[in-house]
Structure 1
Amino acid sequence: MSSESPLIEVLRGVVGGFIDIVAAEARRNPDFAAQLETQLEALLRPLRDTGAARPKAAAKRPAIDIPDVHAELAARGDEDFRAWLCAQPADVLKAIIRRQDLDPSRRSSKWKDEKKLANFIADGLRSRLSRGSAFIGRTHDQD
């Protein structure tokens, strides 16, 4: 079985007995085997070219050095932090958004403007830092 073409093995699973007859003839007649191989390649080429025969591989993103935005925000303050973010390239800002999971709906994935991305990040981090602040400093009611 291992001496046969992989295409013959695929077709054997699909069509069964008919392929046994064709495979036997291909073993006896090299010209027939060559013609069969050519025809099968022509039939399967469109599937290979479009990728329909196999699932698409996930696109790999190049490794990007992502800075620690929480440390930068604490060190710089809000205005300087926003200015620092605006100076970063768009691919770094998008990587920060993905790493911090700031955009689960992925609405910012097509944005290209660094200022818009930077403001989105700064606003998202501010929002996260202020969550729960309504309860800080409150005292419990005493009966």
Structure 2
Amino acid sequence: MTPETLARLAVARAHRDLSDLARQGVGGSSSGAGARERIESARRLRVMVNELVDLVVLGEALGGTSWEEITRALRRMDAATVRAEYEDAVSEWRGTPAGQAQKAIDEARGLDAWYRQHREDADPSAGNPVSDLLYVD
């Protein structure tokens, strides 16, 4: 299991968690929550989105995407600054032990099941979108 694959699995997990939290926000629209609760809930979503962006960047860097391309996608100006921002995390993930295969496979299958349960007609029709990343049935 490569560090890039593990990072992409973390991205899928982050997408799921973000979706679940956003759906809870819709469900609580008429709950009578106060301003503080509504703001805190929105802030948690923003934090999760920022973490998701970081995980996607990490996966792309581990996959060999150039820092120049990553910098353009982030709409930033200086590739050296972006690289410096992420290089410690990239180094850490490169050192991830490869022996996490079964745990990753199990998690991928769980994410696939979550996707099938929540998939709507406009979503991609992939039956096993995360397991396919791992080349697992």
Same fold, TM exceeding 0.5? Answer: no
**1 or 2, which has the higher helix percentage?**
2
TM-score category (smaller protein): under 0.3
Q: Which has the higher contact order (CA 8 A, sep 6+)?
A: 2
TM (normalized to structure 2)? Answer: 0.22
TM (normalized to structure 1)? Answer: 0.22
Higher-Rg structure is 1
